[in-house]
Amino acid sequence: MGPDRRLTDLLGIEHPILLAPMAGAGGPALAIAVAEAGGMPSLPCAMLDSAGIRRDVAAVRTATRAPLNLNFFCHAPQPEAPARQRAWRERLAPYYRELGLDPALEAPAPNRSPFDAATCALVEELRPAAVSFHFGLPSVDLLARVKATGARVLASATSVAEARWLAQHGCDAVIAQGAEAGGHRGMFLEVHPDQQPATLALLPAIVDAVGLPVIAAGGIGDGRGIAAALALGAAGVQLGTAYLRAPESLISPLHRAALAAAEAPTALTNLFSGRPARGLVNRLMREQGALRDDLPPFPTAGRALAPLKQAAEALGRTDFSSLWAGEAYPLAREEGAAQLTRRLVAEAREALARISPGPAGA
């Protein structure tokens, strides 16, 4: 798919298509299917403990000998903010009452742990072909240990400044995460979600700024988008939203139905975790404003929402659910992930042939 072999050679894969690691949506089944079709499988590890990571890696390796990417978060954990947590609960109290819930109710909320010495030891044990990071990079010593295993290091940049920083700090390839991307923005130097450039503007600027292979992420809905990313200078692409409707994806039936309906627009919101992420616009985002500056820190903003989400979902409503999706989600189809990967390759080739200047260079 195109003559650029930098990424396929770097990662040892057939097609320069990476499965985006989607915490909560991706797991071994999705990874195995993408690997089967020649793409790069990724496992999201930020919401797993060591046992969970070992289990998922083993599941993939039982099925395929393909290279594997493990993804971790690198956020600096913030101190608890009880006053903000209380204020957020108070703001949500009318919803608790509406659903007949005690406003003091607690429910399990997803945790997201940053990469640390224990996870680093796990990488040394499991020796994945690649490790990708979101929200920056781990400390210099941990990163050195990761690189010493021979793992290729990838990380997300949402600006040219972040890409330069990643290149200077030892990344082997940079993921240019355009504003269209679903889920959490990888922002680690940038602080304004409403000033994040989209892939079409970001990608060529990062390609010009760093000497590394650049992986395009965000807004790529099908093979035409892959061809476009290659035209912009990408060595490969990372797709997440395109895979959300695959049977191998772990999203809820309600999330699946909302994606299939393709009615809601997407927007960036920090209501669900405390950090900006792109998802389908729902009631909470409409009524509270999608981006607030008074929330408890990442990832604890989700705690107060957990009982609401649980109760509303039991009634078939997504009013309080994070429905992560990238802007191109209406192009996604319900399709097995291996077949989808093969379709993406075929469509990209078709698009490249369609716009090919031909032998005369006309």
- Residue numbers at the binding site for a copy of itself (CB under 8 A): 2-4, 159-160, 178-180, 192, 194-195, 197-202, 204-205, 218-222, 224-225, 227-233, 265-268, 281, 290, 326-328, 330-331, 349, 351-359, 361-362
Contact 180, 265 (CB under 8 A): no
Closest distance between a copy of itself and the C-beta of residue 205, in Å? 6
Q: Output the furthest CA–CA distance in the chain (Å, rounded).
A: 72
Q: For residue 302, which phi and psi values (nearest 5 degrees)? A: -75, -20
Q: What is the closest distance, in whole angstroms, from the C-beta atom of residue 212 to a copy of itself in the complex?
A: 17
DSSP 235: S
- The three-state secondary structure class of 70 is strand
Query: Tokens standing for 187?
Result: 């922002």
Least distance CB 353 / a copy of itself (angstroms) = 6
Considering beta carbons, is residue 93 or 281 the nearer one to a copy of itself? 281
Q: 332: left (phi > 0), else alpha (psi -120 to 50), else beta?
A: beta
Instruction: Kindly tell me which of 160 and 254 has the beta carbon lying closer to a copy of itself.
Output: 160
For a copy of itself, the closer of residues 159 and 341 by Cβ is: 159
Select 109 or 323, whichever has its Cβ closest to a copy of itself. 323
Output the smallest distance, CB 162 to a copy of itself, in A: 12
Asked if 201 and 207 touch (Cβ cutoff 8 Å), the reply is: no
**Angle between helix 50-63 and 117-126 (nearest 10):** 20
Q: What dihedral do alpha carbons 188, 192, 193, 199 form, nearest 10°?
A: -70
CB of 296 to a copy of itself, least distance (A): 22
- Reading the block at residue 138, the tokens are 């781990």
Cβ closer to a copy of itself: 105 or 231? 231
Of 7 and 126, nearer to a copy of itself (C-beta) is 7
Contact between 73 and 134 (Cβ < 8 Å):
yes
User: Least distance (Å) from a copy of itself to the CB of residue 198?
Assistant: 3
Q: What are phi and psi of 40, to 5 degrees?
A: -95, 115
